Amino acid sequence: MTAENGTPGAGRRLAVLGAGVMGSGIAALAVGHGVAVSLIDLDRRRLDEAPARIGQQVRMARLMGALPDGTDPGALATGRSLADLMTAGDAPPTAVIEAVTEDPDAKAKVLADVCSLVAPGTPIISNTSAIPIDELAAALARPADLIGTHFMNPPCLIRTVEVIRGTHTGQATLDALRALLGALRRESIVVNDAPGFVTSRLLHPMINDAVRVVAAGTASAESVDLLMQGCLGHPTGPLRTADLIGLDNLVDSLWVLHGRTGDEGCRPCDLLLELVEAGHLGRKSGRGFYEYGHAYGHAYEYGSDGHEYEGEHA
């Protein structure tokens, strides 16, 4: 499966680092627009499952009219390291998107390694939820090549992407990212660097507060969500959104925010920590504030922007 001339992503090759919720969703968006993808993860099981999961997301997004008609899917290669894939014959990437676990040290190492591997001028894009881009840039030999995105879940269905320009981000990097997002038919909103940028700085403490309300016994998760939907116009409610994001990722992001802002509202509340400790991570594990029956269920029902999307299981 290769992209043909005339498809939006023709001639591009994206390296996606991390094949979890976001890495596989971003890979599906790219493949669905004809972009070739090299998908990297340390977890062999994730890699083995990724092609089927990505294929299902592409099919579902196409059925929902979220991908261009008549575009041949981009080729998908998977591996445990980009260096291995390139040695095996994969063309060098025209851009890299990092979507590994929200751990500042892990991200800094992955970004520094990839920076030493790809050609100068290749945009290196971190899809962090909350870590300041300037903090990550300190690990890179070429900080001008680094920029942030905050794709929301599921990337195929949410058209707006928050773009974070660090202090050292070069204009060429910003222009190249905008061109990539244009080829993926996404709208970019560029913001300045800060812990959590705009969306996570606002959304994550609000979700944390919603969990505190449930923990206090004031209302059930369902009642909180119904009130936020019915009275305040939130399309799904904060706790369904939490389940979609992944409670482990939510906790990691809240710690990042807490550590960098000192805002006690960002300290993950006990109930969140207990759920993660018990392995109840939300949709990706099949259970969080709600039961889903199976892992990764219904990813196309609701987006992490809170909008409701029609569709079958992803």
Ligand X SMILES: NC(=O)c1ccc[n+]([C@@H]2O[C@H](COP(=O)([O-])OP(=O)(O)OC[C@H]3O[C@@H](n4cnc5c(N)ncnc54)[C@H](O)[C@@H]3O)[C@@H](O)[C@H]2O)c1
Residues that bind ligand X (CB under 6 A): 17-23, 40-43, 46, 99-102, 106, 110, 127-129, 150-153, 245-246, 249, 253, 304
What is the nearest approach in angstroms of ligand X to the Cβ of residue 140?
A: 15
Q: Which is nearer to ligand X, 10 or 17 (CB)?
A: 17
- Minimum distance from residue 139 beta carbon to ligand X (Å): 13
**Residue number with CB closer to ligand X (213 or 250):** 250
Q: What is the 3-state secondary structure (H, E, C) of the chain?
A: CCCCCCCCCCCCEEEEECCCHHHHHHHHHHHHCCCEEEEECCCHHHHHHHHHHHHHHHHHHHHCCCCCCCCCCCCEEEECCHHHHHHCCCCCCCEEEECCCCCHHHHHHHHHHHHHHCCCCCCEEECCCCCCHHHHHCCCCCHHHEEEEECCCCCCCCCEEEEEECCCCCHHHHHHHHHHHHHCCCEEEEEECCCCCCHHHHHHHHHHHHHHHHHCCCCCHHHHHHHHHHCCCCCCCHHHHHHHHCHHHHHHHHHHHHHHHCCHHHCCCHHHHHHHHCCCCECCCCECCCECCCCCCCCCCECCCCCECCCCCC
Closest CA to 93 of 75, 70, 69: 75
Q: Cβ closer to ligand X: 75 or 106?
A: 106
State in angstroms the smallest separation of the CB of 20 from ligand X.
Answer: 2
Q: Cis peptide before 143, with omega less than 30 degrees from 0?
A: no
Minimum CB separation of residue 54 from ligand X in Å reads 13
131 or 176: CB nearest ligand X: 131
| CB 179, min distance to ligand X, A | 21
Which of 42/117 has CB closer to ligand X? 42
- Residue 226, Cβ neighbours under 10 Å: how many? 13
Residue nearest to ligand X (CB): 20
Look up 33 and say whether it is catalytic: no
CB nearer to ligand X: give 203 or 221: 203
Q: Choose, from 150, 168, 234, 258, the residue flagged as catalytic.
A: 150
Instruction: Report d(CA 273, CA 250) in Å as an integer.
Output: 10
CB of 196 to ligand X, least distance (A): 10
The residues assigned a catalytic role are 150
